[in-house]
Amino acid sequence: MSSMMQMNKDIKIGVLSSVVSGLEESISALGVDPQPIFTYFPDLYRSAERIQKITLNDFCHAIDIAADMTGNEHFALYYGAHCKMDALGLLGYLFQNSATLHDGLQALVSYFPCHQQMSEMRLVQVGDFYRLDYQVDPNYLSNRRADAEISLAMFCNLIRKFLGEQWKPVRIGFEHNQPANTQPHHEFFKCEMEFNYPQNSIYIKSEELNFKIPSADPFLFQLIKRNLVQEGFPLSEQEKFLKEIEASISKKINNGIPYIEEVAADLNLPVWTFKRRLSQINKKFSEIVESKQKKVALDYLEQGQETISEIAYRLGYADTSSFSKAFQRWYGISPKSWRAQRNL
């Protein structure tokens, strides 16, 4: 998604109401009456007891107000750290009934769009680790720090349910700027942490994901999956179209930058129709390709199996210098320095 687009305040991001399941209790635990929150956001209160669709925008605004009410500037992290399986609703129970932690995270990635709109998750193997990425479309949500801290804390709690409370990730990456005080972050995550990261990420040791979940029930997994698809958010036509484009680009990008004619053909569309549909949703083909290049470049660098010049060639750059300039523009650092900082 283009970072150049202005915030679209008319479009709200939908999320299933399970995210508010512990909000009242969390505010009360800090010695504050939570009722003003639910007076201001009555939909949050009404939806706390059953599956409904609310907006992530309202939820994050409520978290901001809760931070002011409680005097806890880290309330978002505090809330995420205290959230249990219920906060992810059907998605959490889908995880719990997966065969292994790897299968659980893959289910989380695959079905997260049913739980929350305009968001993307990925599970990528990088060397001896897996990286769980989470990103919400910046064009539709202003307070992404609160959302990121709650979400990554929830995901860590899912893993700790099975690997124990002392489990810690290898590394955490946050998109937002570093807060003045990061002690609460280190106390909860217990690991190396980096801010201003390209996306919100949790690094996990590969062998840990082989853990077999004792509560797994294949029948319940299928039942929960069906209910989640029925009760959750269907992909909009815009999201379906973009996912089809991204899937086509993903298949081709290892061999260089795909041409618009190739991707249009994959979607069985004339090029002029393809361009018109992109224009209708205010997207440019070049921006979608570059967004994919940015993500894939990081994956290749972290996997550490290829030289920077080989990566540049894979991604369709004429030379290493052109790739390095693009990477510097994307991330404010050269690919060589990025790799060196992470001992890759």
Residues 219 and 75 in one domain: yes
The answer to the question of residue 243 being in a domain is yes
* Non-local CB neighbours of 35 within 8 Å, separated by 6+ positions: none
pLDDT at 46 over 90: no
Encoded tokens for 209: 């994901």
180 lies in the same domain as 59: yes
Same domain for 275 and 226: no
Q: What is the pLDDT of residues 214-258, one digit of tens each?
A: 999 999 999 999 999 998 998 888 888 998 999 999 888 878 889
List of residues 6+ apart from 213 with CB closer than 8 A: 96, 97, 98, 99, 100, 101, 103, 104, 162
Q: Are residues 256 and 183 in the same domain?
A: no
Do 209 and 284 sit in the same domain of this protein?
Answer: no
Residue 8 lies inside a defined structural domain of this protein = no
**177 and 274 share one domain:** no
pLDDT(343) > 70 = no
Chosen domain end from 231, 249, 271: 231
Q: What is the pTM of this model?
A: 0.89
Residue 335 and residue 202 share a domain? no
Number of domains in the chain: 2
pLDDT of residue 84: 84
81 in the same domain as 35: yes
State the pLDDT at residue 66.
95
Question: Which position has the higher pLDDT, 246 or 43?
Answer: 246
Q: Is 154 helix (H, G, I), strand (E, B) or coil?
A: helix
285 plus 328 within the same structural domain: yes
Domain residues for the domain of 110 are 14-231
Report pLDDT for 257. Answer: 84
Instruction: Name the domain boundary from 231, 254, 277.
Output: 231
- Same domain assignment for residues 163 and 71: yes
Q: Do 175 and 321 sit in the same domain of this protein?
A: no
Give the CA radius of gyration of the chain.
21
What is the pLDDT of the chain when averaged over all its residues? 90
Instruction: Produce one character per residue of 272-293: b if its CB has 16 or more CB atoms within 10 Å, e if not.
Output: eebeebbeeeebebebbbebbb
Whether residue 6 is predicted with pLDDT greater than 70 in this model: the reply is no
